[in-house]
């Protein structure tokens, strides 16, 4: 199984992506702006081949365990980046909520010069168990690429 993030559009401070599992579109993702030089909490993760894992020790686990209950087994973490730590796929709608992480959404809007995702919680609840299953099945490779469409 192959997990891929494909970036399709850039706003002034945001980047809109698609998440695919085995070539099938799952949801939209929202990240910060792509920058040549990293600015902490304001820069999209780099392109390349990385790994996924369940992070059960980071601080966001308590919040997600409370809101999601038994479904939550750990944060979906993308790791192996130079200069980036604790990159989670998580809930949020605005680029100001990403802190460098991809946010899930079932749709998107362009407001002014930036993108935002909508129905983030619903998209997360749909994609989370799929990603957990893949991680448990040792299917942890994730590819991040740019293929801007608009």
4 touches 143 (CB < 8 A): yes
As a whole number of angstroms, the distance between CA 52 and CA 77 comes to 6
Asked if the model's pLDDT at residue 19 lies above 90, the reply is yes
Phi, psi of 93 (to 5 degrees): -120, -25
As a whole number of angstroms, the distance between CA 75 and CA 67 comes to 13
- The pLDDT of 36-40, averaged and rounded, is 88
Q: Please, what is the average pLDDT of the chain? A: 94
Asked if the model's pLDDT at residue 123 lies above 70, the reply is yes
In this prediction, residue 14 carries a pLDDT of 97
As a whole number of angstroms, the distance between CA 124 and CA 15 comes to 18
In this prediction, residue 136 carries a pLDDT of 96
In this prediction, residue 102 carries a pLDDT of 98
Half-sphere exposure (Cβ direction) of 53: Cα atoms closer than 13 Å: 11
Asked if the model's pLDDT at residue 1 lies above 80, the reply is no
Tokens of 88: 């989670």
Decide the pairing of beta strands 3-10 and 87-89. Answer: unpaired
Residue of 28, 15, 30 lying closest to 107 (CA atoms): 28
As a whole number of angstroms, the distance between CA 80 and CA 94 comes to 25
**Taking the C-alpha atoms of 42, 45, 51 and 56 in order, what is their torsion angle to the nearest 10 degrees?**
0
User: Rounded to two decimals, what is the model's pTM?
Assistant: 0.95
């Amino acid at each position: 199984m192959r997990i891929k993030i494909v970036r399709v559009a850039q706003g002034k401070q945001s980047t809109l992506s698609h998440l695919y599992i085995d070539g099938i579109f799952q949801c939209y993702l929202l990240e910060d702006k792509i920058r040549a030089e990293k600015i902490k909490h304001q820069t999209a993760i780099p392109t390349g081949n990385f790994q996924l894992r369940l992070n059960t020790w980071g601080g966001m686990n308590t919040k997600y365990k409370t809101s999601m209950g038994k479904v939550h087994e750990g944060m979906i973490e993308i790791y192996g980046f130079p200069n980036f730590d604790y990159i989670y796929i998580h809930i949020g709608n605005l680029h100001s909520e990403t802190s460098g992480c991809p946010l899930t959404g079932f749709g998107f809007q362009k407001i002014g010069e930036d993108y935002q995702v909508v129905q983030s919680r619903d998209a997360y609840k749909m994609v989370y168990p799929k990603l957990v299953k893949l991680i448990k099945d040792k299917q942890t490779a994730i590819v991040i690429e740019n293929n801007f469409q608009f």
